[in-house]
Amino acid sequence: MLNRVAVVTGASRGIGRATALALCRAGFEIVVASPEVEKNEEVAAEIRNCNGKALTVNLDLASLDSIRECFELTTREFGRVDVLVNNAGITRDALAMRMKPEDWNLVLQINLSGAFFACQQVIPAMLKQRWGRIINIASVVGQSGNPGQANYVSSKAGIIGLTKCLAQELGGRGITVNAVAPGFIETDMTRNLPAEVRDAMLAKVPLKRPGKPEDVAAAVRFLASEDASYITGHVLNVNGGMYM
């Protein structure tokens, strides 16, 4: 049986780490890609402890050269890329009138442009093998908006638009392109929020609890599977009902 290969960006922690482990358990060989070199190795060790195969890559999504090198290394090591999970993302929050140009540009560059250029790297081989899965991690705020996050919201709304565009371009060759839009998920990013902000966010969630990274990872694992072969251009909300 063919071992499929999945590249997960931002795999060193949070949703990315949970996704890498979930795909490993589903039988994928994993490329753990992020700029956090030591944490990459920790995740790779967890994968190997589960009898999985892992490659770590120091990936800087702000650098096109780094993106190219990541996929060249993956192809040399594993011979193929079957699944790309564009999970990596950053925030640089501020009200729109106070947002610094460099903070706007960096968030768009990493969250949206980085994901696009990663897609560009895998599309030719996926077209050739007539099979592929591209799964982009969006956000509930890319659908609903959120004050103080014009850059982040725009990047995630852009990810949804990119998903729909690529789904239409690539569907005829057996490649599906979908997005997962997490809501309020317990990660390093959300754990550091002030208590009043956390309480206000949870008040908007009908399930009355935050999600776990594993909840998002389960959705990614499904979209990467043969069971999701007739789903493309879809945004799968994993948000506890926060946005409907």
Contact 84, 31 (CB under 8 A): no
Cβ-Cβ contacts under 8 Å for 47 (sequence gap 6 or more): 20, 21, 24, 30, 32, 53, 54
Amino acid at 88: A
Contact 70, 88 (CB under 8 A): no
Query: Is 243 annotated as catalytic?
Result: no
Give the up-direction half-sphere exposure of residue 180: CA atoms within 13 A in the CB hemisphere: 27
Task: Give the Cα separation of 208 and 46 in Å (integer).
Answer: 31
- Taking each helix axis as running N to C, give the angle between helix 14-25 and helix 37-49, from 0 to 180 degrees, rounded to the nearest 10: 30
Phi–psi pair at 9, nearest 5 degrees: -85, 150
Which of 85, 152, 180, 236 is catalytic? The answer is 152
Rounded CA Rg of the chain: 17
Beta strands in 132-242 (DSSP E): 132-137, 175-182, 235-238
Task: Give the Cα separation of 107 and 55 in Å (integer).
Answer: 26
Instruction: Give CA torsion, residues 232, 238, 243, 244, to 10 deg.
Output: 50
DSSP per-residue string spanning 115-159: HHHHHHHHHHHHHHHT-EEEEEE--THHHH--TTBHHHHHHHHHH
Catalytic residues: 152
